[in-house]
Structure 1
């Protein structure tokens, strides 16, 4: 899948060498920097519906995380704190100085949170969109013995998920997105584009690698939070199903946390881009 297929007007694509890998990055707009980090199984395309409005007042930086989209798929380096260094390297290459605002969805939220916890001086505002966080409730939520979500442990298993998903990417994408989003959010073209982005064992592996570090990510987060609280303002956006659970989990570890429940399913920025842009713009202001 080519990034140019969906790129909004005023945005351009760069390939940037950073932290021993090469990432594809979309940049547009002007003003204070806002970094947008997508989740799985998505790419930077996930932010297409909100990028033009956000770029009116911000320089918007939207990478494909390592292992996804048009970025490279290295063997390792998927720990969320290390991926935060990927993003720091992007900003250095673009000559964009901090501190910056960062928003993440799903896996992207985990990278954004690790960045803020490890290097709080880099992050002026933190926005987390419908994501459980390693070390702050994720482990309990994926405990299948207690009714937790099965897919986390399965995706962590080496080799097997990509073997079984190979050849069934569109089926999986369609089933997942249909179950987790309001009807009509994703067109057949959208679903096919995301399926192409994860088609084949190597592309699938790049996606699953984000899950294979989650237990270590949780240990890293707990160690960081034992040393300091988050000092920057945090907006934790949940869905109609998850509500303010992430905000509640963060409250003991942050000085200023706001919770908001979007009138959507999991894919907030795509299901209701107007609500998302208004909420985020108000928070950043």
Structure 2
């Protein structure tokens, strides 16, 4: 299924060469308030933002790429370090002739890239929004080591080759179980689940997704080194779910000058489970 099949009215998709790879990027809106970059998580694509893009585009130019390794973007062998993916996104803005600073919202893996961007290039970011994610260097490693298994999937997904082998042929089965367990009932239709499963079907597409996890320990070391130089100067909105609460906001508090925590009335997939709550919260924060 091509990206255009889900695209909201007023948006178009461009293929952009950036940082030695090619990314598929949805762009729409021409609102007067900031450019807003939306970075999706795993196992999703830019389609994750479809339910909020039209409302956000009333106030912002919205830029939503498929991250490298996912969706309609290329799947290079390397380059998945979060600071390198920051250069992917900066290249997109340059190609689109969009000026910085911009606002950025990231979910899951996308929040890790957004955070690395804010830490490495704070001058680029006016507002930082992090949605239901642990952050490398700020608690992710400890969560992986919690007794009774902790966040077991991080270590599993980091393992070379094995996850692709085991998931191959079982993508829809696994994604259906995962999305259902981590979201409010009725959020995802069978069509939604099938579409996401297709985006990750086959060992090469699976590998592109798991590569985001295989850099996490190095990402943590990079984040700690960047934060040792300076705190985050921009306002930060850390959105948790009913499961995670304000954990990310608490982890960020010593590392940023202005952190606001919020808890969405949802599971993990905030923008899809309650689009109205998400757009209202983001719009108020950016205003």
Q: TM-score, normalised by structure 1?
A: 0.99
Q: Residues 221, 74 of structure 1: CA spacing in aligned structure 2 closer, same or farther, 3 A cutoff?
A: same
**Residue 145 of structure 1: how far off its partner (Å):** 4.4
Which of 23, 33, 39 aligns to 1:37? It is 39
**Does the residue aligned with 2:165 lie in a helix, a strand or coil?**
helix
Stretch of structure 1 that moved more, 138-147 or 83-92: 138-147
1:20 counterpart residue number? 20
Q: Distance in 2 between matches of 1:147 and 1:177?
A: 20
1:167 counterpart residue number? 169
The gaps in structure 2 that reach 5 residues or longer are none
1:237 counterpart residue number? 239
1:4 counterpart residue number? 4
**Residue 238 of structure 1: how far off its partner (Å):** 0.1
**Residue 146 of structure 1: how far off its partner (Å):** 5.6
2:61 counterpart residue number? 59
Residues 117-157 of structure 1 deviation map (CA, whole Å, 9 limit, x = unaligned): 00000000000000000000000111154641110000000
1:92-103 to 2 correspondence within 5 Å? 92-103=94-105
Structure 1 residue runs of 4+, over 4 Å off?
none
Q: Distance in 1 between matches of 2:18 and 2:257?
A: 32
Stretch of structure 1 that moved more, 54-63 or 142-151: 142-151
**Does the residue aligned with 1:265 lie in a helix, a strand or coil?**
coil
1:181 counterpart residue number? 183
1:1-285 to 2 correspondence within 5 Å? 1-31=1-31, 32-143=34-145, 145=147, 147-285=149-287
Q: What RMSD over aligned residues (CA atoms) do the two structures have, in Å?
A: 0.7
**Does the residue aligned with 1:76 lie in a helix, a strand or coil?**
coil
**Does the residue aligned with 1:23 lie in a helix, a strand or coil?**
strand
**Does the residue aligned with 1:258 lie in a helix, a strand or coil?**
strand
The gaps in structure 1 that reach 5 residues or longer are none
Alignment coverage as a number of residue pairs = 285
